[in-house]
Amino acid sequence: GKLILVSNRLPVHVDIKSDNTVQFRSSAGGLATALNGFHKDHSGSLWVGWPGVIPPEHREEVKNRLLTEYGCYPVFLEEDLVEKFYDGFSNNTLWPLFHSFPAYTRYLDSEWEAYKEANEMFAKAILEVASSGDCVWIHDFHIMLLPKILREAMSDLVIGFFLHIPFPSYDIFRLMPWASEITEALLRSDLVGFHTYDYVQNFLAVVRRSLGIDNNLGVIVRDQLVCHVDVFPIGIDFNKFNLATEHPATQVEMEKIKKRHDGQKIIFAVSRLDYTKGIIESLHAFETLLVTQPQYQKKVVFVLVVVPSRERVKRYASLKKEIDESVGRINSKYGSFEWHPVLYLFQSLTFAELTAYYSRADVGLVIPSRDGMNLVAKEYLATKKDAAGVLVLSEMAGSAKELQEALLVNPNSKREVVEALDYALTMPLEEQTRRNEPMRSRLEEYDTTRWGNSFLDRLDKARDARKE
């Protein structure tokens, strides 16, 4: 059977221009980038997802072009459904709850209904292109009901599900009124994958405590159905980052950075605009460093890149305002004509700009309060061809499990973060490379391809086990 990838967004975004022409451009986002390779490597594979809001009169053309030119198959959703299912349930219920921010979580029946409806629409699209025995690999929290809907419609599909964000503890998960429906749906997969062992343990505990079902080494058997649960920490395209500094475009950006911050050490942080990413905490720690260790004034600059995201959601808009105000305050309080302590960019970076900053930064600061994996930490190290530089990493990020040689901190302890920054800025080169080399070789070995293949191999084994 063929491979069908499913994610909320397609790797291709479709825009309808004012002159009614249809424009296709590749989507931003880590997931699209991570899966693109598999889509290309598996000939005849299809990718099902949402292409953006498309007016009815353009749908036929969009569907045909996506299918023939990109190997994609669209799920068309109306704008008001997207608002309730995506901005609503996905981003205001599941995202905060799964990241252990229960106070930010809202529970609206109407949004749950929209979530169910959107999941039905995804299933309908998949069933239009699936044949029995196909392998369906479903990605992330927007479409967690799919395994059940698909299993009931076409029982011999091979279904894998991978969650790209954390899975919370039982005490937090059960706050959601629809917790058992979601658990039940996931269990209809042949294989459920998570980034870390902790998330696997949380999921198995939920299954045990809410449904009363035990597992045998991560295998859950119920009503003749078998679900395997396992760990698959996602990697990055190591070579792409490792070779980035050889590109002329990146070298041009590296020169610009060198001129702009001549003689200064650079602390670099980049993330989406999100309250889980520790952006405010980073600013507070940097300010405390300048106050308690004044020798760093004029010698260090904090480059903070925040990529616009979900600004229609109120909580995100107010976070943006708080960041703007903190940056303004720090720069006016400590800065001078020739030195701005914080260089703040609220924008996306090109690959050349991003890797130039990774390469030039003396310290990579990655301190989310919770993060499923966090690939920035991995990308930073992969770009460091000479293995110099220091990674300061939150122990709450999934990637901390694989990056033990980094300076690991509790992001809620300002003192720990400040001490780590101070240590990082004075760390001898020999120690930098001693820490970074083992992490880099691990990242090289367990890259995106290896991650995906290990998931698909395990899914094959689960399929074979089912036949027996």
Q: Sorting pLDDT into bands at 50, 70 and 90, what band is 29? A: low
Q: Are residues 112 and 151 in the same domain?
A: yes
| SS3 per residue for the chain | CCEEEEEEECCEEEEECCCCCEEEEECCCHHHHHHHHHHHHCCCCEEEEECCCCCHHHHHHHHHHHHHHHCEEECCCCHHHHHHHHHHHHHHHHHHHHCCCHHHCCCCHHHHHHHHHHHHHHHHHHHHHCCCCCEEEEECHHHCCHHHHHHHHCCCCEEEEECCCCCCCHHHHCCCCCHHHHHHHHCCCCEEEECCHHHHHHHHHHHHHHHCCCCECCEEEECCEEEEEEECCCCCCHHHHHCHHHCHHHHHHHHHHHHHCCCCEEEEEEEECCCCCCHHHHHHHHHHHHHHCHHHCCCEEEEEEEECCCCCCHHHHHHHHHHHHHHHHHHHHHCCCCCCCEEEEECCCCHHHHHHHHHHCCEEEECCCCECCCCHHHHHHHHCCCCCCEEEEECCEHHHHCCCCCEEECCCCHHHHHHHHHHHHHCCHHHHHHHHHHHHHHHHHCCHHHHHHHHHHHHHHHHHHHHC
Q: Are residues 440 and 292 in the same domain?
A: yes
- Active-site positions? 164, 371
Domain count along the chain: 2
The pLDDT value recorded for residue 177 is: 98
Q: Which of 193-207, 264-278, 302-316 comes out lowest in average pLDDT?
A: 302-316
Q: Sorting pLDDT into bands at 50, 70 and 90, what band is 224? A: confident
The pLDDT value recorded for residue 28 is: 60
Q: Are residues 417 and 439 in the same domain?
A: yes
Checking if the pLDDT of 202 tops 80, the result is yes
Q: Are residues 87 and 157 in the same domain?
A: yes
What mean pLDDT do residues 59-81 have?
95
What's 248's domain CATH number?
3.40.50.2000
| Range(s) of the domain holding residue 82 | 3-234+449-467
Q: Are residues 70 and 204 in the same domain?
A: yes
Average pLDDT, the chain: 95
